Amino acid sequence: MQGKVIDVTLDTVVGEVMNMKNDGQRLVTFSTYQEGDKIGILYHFDKNLETTHLRLLADMDKPIPSVSGVYFAALLVENEIRDQWNVEFDGLVLDFNRTLLLDPEVTQVPLVSNVKIEPKK
């Protein structure tokens, strides 16, 4: 990965994303990975063909602050992460409740092999 990488925490991620927006950065997408029992999220930004990435490493069982209040389009990526990794986002502007990409009867979390969920009613 090229570009500048800035480490953020649950307490600083929304503020740093706001700083990126105020600087004229374009939100490109997120990348997600698992590191042990933690989830890593890379927030990718671009300005004048130079990339900057915010790196968050968080517990998978704790809600992550949503950045969809800063960049509305982030709601799509955050809902996808919720579908695929069963991670909650606190303050998500539009929550599809794990049905953006998945049918309601899906009980196996696609990217986390040892996590099952109750079917939606």
Per-domain residue ranges for the chain? Answer: 4-90
For domain 4-90, is the CATH number 3.30.460.80? yes
DSSP 70: T
pLDDT band at 84 (very low <50, low <70, confident <90, very high): confident
For the entire predicted model, the pTM comes to 0.82
Tell me what the pLDDT averaged over the chain comes to: 86
Asked whether the predicted pLDDT for residue 22 surpasses 80, the reply is: yes
Asked whether the predicted pLDDT for residue 120 surpasses 50, the reply is: no
Asked whether the predicted pLDDT for residue 23 surpasses 50, the reply is: yes
Question: Which DSSP helix (H) or strand (E) runs through 43?
Answer: strand 38-47
Distance between CA atoms of 113 and 73, rounded to whole angstroms?
28
